[in-house]
Amino acid sequence: MPTNGTPVVNAWTQWGRLETVVVGRADPKSCHLPHEPACHAEINDPLIADAIDWPGGSVKSAKSVELASAQLANFCAVLEAETVQVKSQKAFDSELKREVQKMRTEVIQNPDTKEKDSRVLQKGRISTLRPTEMDWSQSVSGPGWSSTSQYCATCPRDTMITIGNTILEATMSKRSRYFESLACREISLKLWRQDPEHVKFWACPKPSFADSMYHKDFWELSDKQRYERMRSYKFCVNETEPIFDAADITRCGKDIFVQKSMTTNDSGIKWLTSHFPELRVHPVHFPYDLYPSHIDCTFVPLRPPSADAGDGGLVLINSERPPLKSEAELWRKNGWKLLNAPLPAQTDRPPFSQSSYWLSMNLLSLGPKTMVIEENEIPLYNVLVEHGFDPITVPMRHMYDYGGGIHCSTWDIKREDSCVDCFPNQEYAPKHLYEQNFSDIDVVDVTSSNDGFLINPLTDIDGICGVGTLASKASRDCPDSPFSKKMRTA
């Protein structure tokens, strides 16, 4: 056991005070996602799509690697800093290629050097670790399958998770990501060797990645057909083998919540349930996300009901993908409230981004009161401040081309944390949770606070279907509307 009595690997929640974190790397040989049964990546810009080798796992441009690397390096510097100041300023955004209003965070050495109109935060130093550089342009293959290239190590969140004192490698669902956890292997081994008595290093069996693991017709479905089938929660991976990406899991101490998605199947949730018997594992469903992948742009616990600050337990929700009423009930009866994330400050997506504009809510908590958000996301910044938080910011839009944002690019190793019970009021029956024939699509009403939930209704902004308005509900309900196309994510 190391110095302060806590194992070197210790993270039970999303919000415990952060001490050690891995931040992803944009390696020179990072690749675009290749085409495969679990992934049909798209380019958002048709001119670029014509000009480059796509889809096919080509190497990303040196310029893009440079820009993403610089943002990740700045993120590390902010995490490592003892003191930072946050200030509103208009500045040129190299990804958006225009001037925009930002909340900009700068590292300062001495709080007395604070600039006028800035907020100073003595956040404390957080240790950052980085994955090992790899050549992602190498092809990979297994019996009966191959992938022209691999992907990159920008999103350790997808492959690795700390659950309590266990380091867990996910199975992954994409062939191109089979070996991605190797970029973190040196870190995992070192941590485990430091304290093998308390730290577990574990992995779910690697899938065969055979063709028979996938629903082949998934990518041919129209949005209308997807909408019609939303009750079945069947995506591109079938149930023949346990599959999960680590980013489909969110932790709240004794309870963890796992999203059924394109990247996580019921068998994967079942594997987690039987391998973490000391925890309560809850499958969660967001029926309006027709391409679900990773829970961290959909449902983000911010602080537990017992926290001193503000108005109690809060979870940030995405009102285009509301949680099921039946599943939200557990949160309501244990004193949590749902908070609508505001519409993103910018709805444009970088050309190679396979994620939605909801990367705006992809935040990393540094503690129950402080989190890191993207520096353009002033609407979110304001909502968080209103609810008693001290957000800080980093620029991260160049990472959006690499599969994620602030939360995705991290893997939290150590927090000041324990196996807290934030849901004492429940009857947990794991068998029933994953063995029922699931067809529930009755979601919480995001337009009004009800039954003790704070939903924080929002209104139309700039003619875009406003979150939580009747207009947005209508367009969500209509599979052919342009708005519902914007929900397409991977």
The torsion of the CA quartet 161, 128, 84, 65, rounded to 10 degrees, works out to -90
We find the least distance from the C-beta atom of residue 289 to ligand ARG, in angstroms, to be 8
Decide if 385 contacts 378 (C-beta within 8 A).
no
Query: DSSP H helical segments within 221-352, as ranges?
Result: 223-228, 266-275, 325-333
Decide if 413 contacts 21 (C-beta within 8 A).
yes
Phi-psi region of 400 (alpha: psi -120 to 50; beta: other; left: phi over 0): alpha
We find the least distance from the C-beta atom of residue 39 to ligand ARG, in angstroms, to be 12
Smallest CA-to-CA distance from 439 within 220, 228, 237 is with 228
Alpha-carbon distance of 353 to 404, in angstroms, equals 8
Nearer to ligand ARG, 190 or 485 (CB): 485
Nearer to ligand ARG, 22 or 84 (CB): 22
Nearer to ligand ARG, 237 or 330 (CB): 237
Nearer to ligand ARG, 358 or 453 (CB): 358
Decide if 414 contacts 8 (C-beta within 8 A).
yes
We find the least distance from the C-beta atom of residue 288 to ligand ARG, in angstroms, to be 12
Peptide bond connecting 55 to the previous residue in cis, omega within 30 degrees of 0: yes
We find the least distance from the C-beta atom of residue 294 to ligand ARG, in angstroms, to be 3
Q: Which residue is nearest to ligand ARG (CB)?
A: 489
Decide if 18 contacts 415 (C-beta within 8 A).
yes
**Vertex 55 angle, CA 49 and 57, to 5°:** 120
Say whether 294 is catalytic: yes
Say whether 408 is catalytic: yes
Q: Report which DSSP code applies to 214.
A: B
Residue 54 CB contacts under 8 Å (≥ 6 apart), including other chains: 32, 43
Marked catalytic residue, from 27, 152, 236, 245: 245
Say whether 245 is catalytic: yes
Nearer to ligand ARG, 233 or 423 (CB): 233
119 SS3 class: strand
We find the least distance from the C-beta atom of residue 310 to ligand ARG, in angstroms, to be 26
Burial class (CB in 10 A: 0-12, 13-18, 19+), 222: exposed
We find the least distance from the C-beta atom of residue 296 to ligand ARG, in angstroms, to be 5
We find the least distance from the C-beta atom of residue 66 to ligand ARG, in angstroms, to be 21
Nearer to ligand ARG, 21 or 81 (CB): 21
Alpha-carbon distance of 475 to 472, in angstroms, equals 5
Contacting residues toward ligand ARG, per CB under 6 A:
155, 157-158, 247, 293-294, 296-297, 355-356, 358, 403-404, 408, 489
What single-letter amino acid sits at 133?
Answer: E
Nearer to ligand ARG, 86 or 315 (CB): 315
Matching residue, tokens 């602030």: 406
Marked catalytic residue, from 76, 408, 422, 465: 408
Catalytic residues: 245, 294, 408
